[in-house]
Structure 1
């Protein structure tokens, strides 16, 4: 009997411990709700939005130390910039892709966040009852009518709305329809951030500017018309609105004014240059062109080992060190081929030489802008009279037709 009583006492004690443990868990869950805090049950509010970080453009240097097999120590400074650093500042406007902190009250049970009606992902591990860390989605609308400057946080107990603008991205061209222009010609840009552009200028690499007319624009496509300029090479500078202030940005893509280049072929032979090809048909053709209404057609018969190109026997072009680039467009044939750029002024002369190779993709226009100092092209003291493209004969070759346009030398 005593043994039975002891048994029941142990059961009672064990049961009591289980009850206490369960109660402790319930109290713990009620207090922390698995988040580490108790979400408020009142209507949510947003008091402010703060930046999370910024890009530090200061240039810093790391020292990389290396030791060779002989034990020699070399220390090399390596520059680094555009470092992301913490930065806390209240703001009423945000940029696509950036992180921000929403401050307020009763935010712990947040179920959704939207910027201009576009849902934003948020990590509940970065949420408290008084703050939320969130990234502005890259596809958030930033232009009317979809952009209504609204930040909305919805919780289990209500909705909070805050006036918050999304900044338009800076003008960012992804493609140019051409990299060459002449007075009155047009170039189409594709990209983002064009809707806020108020003006465009061409900034010369050696100085000088020219106003470029905007023919049409929306946020993803802009058509520009170019004036007569004194600029040889230059970049586009955009003036645009960002958060109510005018800013400028110069694109990295360099453009060439054909009117100020030494022209060999642009719609027709120029500067006394003529057809110097070894095969036919060759010369001016309207079958295909990149600029204007004509290009130079070059024929490469199967296994022909031909050089197609240009000749200028008088007045020719004496050596001039101020020329920096040879530029041209070329439309390839049926398959990819390697052409060799030949001149009479190279160290090996004009002929079937394996010099200055360029790879031309098939059936598309490809732009070449080649620094002359990287080519075996033009020895000092010589006079340029022949410029051609050599295609070696190969087993299984077929007849190929190429088109060249805007063949120029540029200072």
Structure 2
């Protein structure tokens, strides 16, 4: 009799377990079949935090004080950045099988999914900008839901610019990424004028007045980015004045240059007027403070204006210093020969590798007349430096 009752109790218990399982299963099925809802997206932090806001208030006609108020800060956002971590808030989200940003599937950890939220990172390759749907799509067993959410433009990058140095008004081409919607370009604190039609990967701008050396900054909806290297000279020998510590030499009429010549000038207010009194005269300047390292520099840049009668005449530019073995890199008769143009400025950018054995230190600069003139001839020199 007792054995029968025991079996009966076991049967009842099994039935109750089965009923509970069925009820639980039905409940899960009902939850799973409910359509997903997205109410908002927030940053992964507390929904509401308190922050201090300081304002200036006038207590009377002569007293000003700081007033601190605590205000609520809502972490809800309507757009997100690539690779940013966010929480999608809503309901019926527990059976999420896929989340897409502008059609690109995002990885998510199922352990970070609940009925009311999904913690997720926006894929780095998500498309952004014009032509996109600007939607988050969440797919569950109960269906799918779209929610308007824009992807922010990434910060631009500057990979290169050319030329590496230039004068006011020269056009510089900047190459990089994410230039769409560019709102400004500046060289240091000087605003540059954008010329032509910018693309997502290239800009052209005019060098602002007065810039000798400066980093380039590009501003877009994604923020402001700085060039990895500065525009202009790494080492400046002469702009409107000769660098400190430099001496002046020369031979056969090349030793009386005017460093404060006011016209013509390439940039700024002064240039160097060099009058050669005879053929093969030499303009010569040198560093009196010891050798200057130019090992990390690529070229010398110099601007020369040919005076009256100098057209088609040649001069030899020499960068004197020591090579990597500590030996003189150039002999007196070596250098790079350039041809003058009368009545106009010519900008010469000469790779240091062009000077025979490449100098890695700088001791002197020489510009020698090579055409064998028999009457005085004047040339003008400006913007001497290394890039």
Give the shorter-chain TM-score range.
0.5 to 0.7
User: Which of these residues, 40, 46, 50, is aligned with residue 42 of structure 2?
Assistant: 50
The DSSP-based 3-state class of the residue aligned with 2:228 is strand
Normalising by structure 2, we get a TM-score of: 0.53
Deviation at 1:176, TM superposition (A): 0.9
Find out whether 1:327 has 2:297 as its counterpart. Answer: yes
User: Which of these residues, 202, 205, 212, is aligned with residue 222 of structure 1?
Assistant: 202
Which runs of structure 2 are paired with 1:173-212 in the superposition (5 Å)? 173=158, 175-178=159-162, 180-183=164-167, 184-191=170-177, 193-203=178-188, 208-212=189-193
- Check 1:39–1:234 CA distance in 2 against 1; reply closer, same or farther (3 A cut): farther
Which runs of structure 2 are paired with 1:6-405 in the superposition (5 Å)? 39-53=31-45, 89-145=75-131, 147-173=132-158, 175-178=159-162, 180-183=164-167, 184-191=170-177, 193-203=178-188, 208-219=189-200, 221-227=201-207, 229-241=209-221, 249-257=224-232, 261-262=236-237, 314-319=283-288, 327-328=297-298, 343-344=321-322, 348=326, 350=328, 377=361, 383-384=363-364
- Check 1:409–1:188 CA distance in 2 against 1; reply closer, same or farther (3 A cut): closer
Is the Cα contact below 8 Å between 1:216 and 1:222 reproduced in 2?
no
Residue number in structure 2 paired with 1:334: none
Deviation at 1:255, TM superposition (A): 2.6
The DSSP-based 3-state class of the residue aligned with 1:39 is helix
Q: Please, which runs of 5 or more residues in structure 1 have no aligned partner?
A: 55-86, 264-270, 274-311, 331-340, 353-366, 369-374, 387-406
Is the Cα contact below 8 Å between 2:165 and 2:233 reproduced in 1?
yes
Deviation at 1:211, TM superposition (A): 1.0
- Check 1:18–1:156 CA distance in 2 against 1; reply closer, same or farther (3 A cut): same
Deviations 1:350-391 (A, max 9, x none): 269xxxxxxxxxxxxxx99xxxxxx9836xxxx5259xxxxx
- Check 1:93–1:213 CA distance in 2 against 1; reply closer, same or farther (3 A cut): same
The DSSP-based 3-state class of the residue aligned with 1:254 is coil
> Which one has a bigger Cα radius of gyration?
2
Normalising by structure 1, we get a TM-score of: 0.50
Residue number in structure 2 paired with 1:79: none
Is the Cα contact below 8 Å between 2:192 and 2:205 reproduced in 1?
no
- Alpha-carbon separation, structure 2, partners of 1:260 and 1:351: 19
- Alpha-carbon separation, structure 1, partners of 2:288 and 2:15: 99
Is the Cα contact below 8 Å between 1:39 and 1:107 reproduced in 2?
no
Deviations 1:183-242 (A, max 9, x none): 424324122x21021221111xxxx524142433232x1132332642222112223235
Is the Cα contact below 8 Å between 1:319 and 1:384 reproduced in 2?
no
- Alpha-carbon separation, structure 1, partners of 2:360 and 2:234: 26
The alignment yields a C-alpha RMSD, in angstroms, of: 4.7
- Alpha-carbon separation, structure 2, partners of 1:320 and 1:231: 26
Deviation at 1:50, TM superposition (A): 0.7
The DSSP-based 3-state class of the residue aligned with 2:221 is strand
- Check 1:17–1:42 CA distance in 2 against 1; reply closer, same or farther (3 A cut): closer
- Check 1:213–1:319 CA distance in 2 against 1; reply closer, same or farther (3 A cut): farther
- Alpha-carbon separation, structure 2, partners of 1:21 and 1:130: 29
Deviation at 1:127, TM superposition (A): 1.2
